[in-house]
Chains A and B, each alone.
Chain A
Amino acid sequence: MSGERGGGRGRGGKKDDKDKGKGDRPRGGGFFRRRRVCKFCADKIDYINYKDVRLLSPFIPERGKIQPRRISGTCAKHQRALQTAISRARQLALIPYVTE
Chain B
Amino acid sequence: MSQTRQYELVYIVSPEASEQAIADLHTQVEQIVQRFNGTLDKTENWGRRKLAYEIGKAREGTYVVETISGPGELMKEVDRRLRVTDTIIRHLIVRVDEDLSVAERLRSERKSTQARRRTARGLPPEPLPSERRGDRDDLDNEDIGLEGAEVQR
Contacts and interface: CB of A to CB of B under 8 A. Distances in A.
Contacts of B10: 51, 92
A50 B94 contact: yes
Most buried by A among B52, B53, B100: B52
A91 B65 contact: no
Interface of A is mostly: loop
Contact of A46 (B12, B53, B90, B102): B102
How extensive is the interface on chain B, given as a class? 20 to 34
A88 B94 CA distance: 9
B100 A47 contact: yes
Most chain B beta carbons < 10 A, residue from A47, A51, A92, A97: A92
Contacts of B12: 92-93
Nearest to B106: A46
Contacts of B106: 46
A94 B135 CA distance: 25
A84 to B, nearest CB: 9
Contacts of B100: 47
Given A46-B102, A47-B100, A51-B10, A95 B52 contact: yes
Nearest to B55: A93
Given A46-B107, A91-B92, A97 B135 contact: no
B103 interface: yes
Nearest to B51: A93
B92 A93 contact: no
Given A51-B65, A93-B90, A44 B110 contact: yes
Given A93-B61, A96-B53, A88 B92 contact: yes
Interface of B: 10, 12, 51-53, 55, 61, 63, 65, 90, 92, 94, 99-100, 102-104, 106-107, 110, 134-135
